[in-house]
């Protein structure tokens, strides 16, 4: 079995969260079930890599490369017991204080005076296209058949997600749309589906996910990787949408500007972590299974 650097993040981090939840399962609601699920998610990642390494079939390679989509969602959506155990208080007031110090006002409250239904509609669409851009660049690189470019990008995305979840655990915050809702003169209303998109975000399973701003950080990382991987056409198309997406994080009241600013050193750290792992494990980590004959081993996917 071959574990690439990205797999180590995708497997070890959910496993660690699962163990934390299991160890404190008697202190928080759903601790046991969430802990078992997260350990199972880590196990699924191992299974996917075993299949990708030892089964010579396109479906096996797709499973080994894209199982992380499920890992990312399950790890994110089950963070609540881990946050309750590690940092049960929120840090919204501290983040608001940073914004007030920098700008003299709460930026999202200031932007409310420039509210327009069409701007709101477009901003919500830009916000929800966050996942589209990162997945699209991944598909572009995958279809190029350039294994190194794809795995470099894969590591960037997985490392960002898993380490940003650690930020949510250590500095939980629910964001301005909840904590200072009373300061807004009106709700943001769109012209078609914008209001429905707004309401849908009140029902997501994890809301203490403001710090750092994943939408800002990963969007900038995708743009960076589009340049370094020579996907210039993709960059040109994505760039204006990305700028609107970052604007929407504050305009649509999901984030404090402090969340966005702290995403910048965070993504710098991610790029350094990426480089270190690629240097230390250029060919990944190979685990030999004694039960498999040498003739049965195939090249890693």
Judge contact between 177 and 253, C-beta under 8 A. yes
Ramachandran category for residue 175: left, alpha or beta (phi over 0 → left; psi -120 to 50 → alpha): left
Judge contact between 115 and 231, C-beta under 8 A. no
What was the pLDDT predicted at 104?
97
Tokens 């009373």 correspond to what residue?
A: 182
Q: Quote the tokens at residue 54.
A: 């030892």
pLDDT tens per residue across span 248-268: 999 999 999 999 999 999 999
Buried b (16+ CB within 10 A) or exposed e, 22-50: bebbeebeebeebbebbbebbebbbebbb
Banded model confidence at residue 147, pLDDT cuts 50, 70, 90: confident
The pTM of the full predicted model, rounded to 2 decimals, is: 0.90
Banded model confidence at residue 193, pLDDT cuts 50, 70, 90: very high
Report in angstroms the alpha-carbon separations of 21 from 42, 55, 78, 247, 296.
14, 34, 10, 35, 38
What was the pLDDT predicted at 2?
81
Count of residues making up the chain: 301
Q: How far apart are CA 225 and CA 146, in angstroms?
A: 14
Q: Quote the tokens at residue 192.
A: 């078609």
């Amino acid at each position: 079995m071959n574990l690439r650097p990205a797999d180590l993040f995708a497997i070890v981090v959910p496993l660690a969260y699962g163990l934390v939840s299991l160890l404190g399962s008697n202190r928080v609601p759903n601790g046991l079930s969430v802990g078992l699920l997260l350990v199972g998610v880590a196990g699924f990642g191992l299974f996917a890599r075993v299949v990708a390494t030892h089964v010579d079939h396109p479906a096996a390679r797709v499973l080994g490369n894209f199982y992380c989509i499920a890992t990312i969602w399950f790890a994110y959506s089950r963070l609540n017991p881990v946050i309750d155990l590690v940092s049960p208080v929120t840090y919204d007031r501290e983040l608001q204080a940073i914004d007030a110090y920098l700008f003299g006002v709460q930026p999202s409250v200031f932007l409310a005076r420039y509210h327009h239904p069409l701007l709101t509609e477009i901003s919500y669409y830009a916000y929800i296209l966050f996942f589209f851009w990162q997945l699209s660049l991944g598909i572009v690189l995958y279809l190029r058949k350039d294994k190194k470019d794809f795995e470099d990008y894969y590591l960037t995305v997985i490392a960002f997600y898993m380490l940003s979840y650690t930020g949510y655990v250590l500095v939980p915050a629910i964001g301005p749309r909840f904590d200072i809702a009373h300061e807004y003169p009106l709700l943001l209303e769109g012209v078609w589906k914008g209001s429905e998109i707004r309401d849908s975000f009140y029902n997501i399973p994890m809301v203490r996910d403001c710090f750092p701003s994943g939408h800002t950080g990963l969007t900038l990382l995708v743009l960076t990787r589009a340049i370094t991987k020579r996907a210039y056409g993709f960059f040109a198309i994505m760039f204006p949408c990305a700028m609107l997406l970052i604007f929407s994080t504050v305009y649509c009241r999901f984030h404090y500007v402090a969340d966005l600013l702290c995403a910048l050193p965070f993504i710098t750290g991610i790029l350094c972590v990426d480089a270190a792992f690629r240097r230390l494990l250029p060919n990944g980590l190979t685990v030999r299974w004694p039960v498999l004959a040498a003739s049965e081993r195939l090249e890693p996917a």
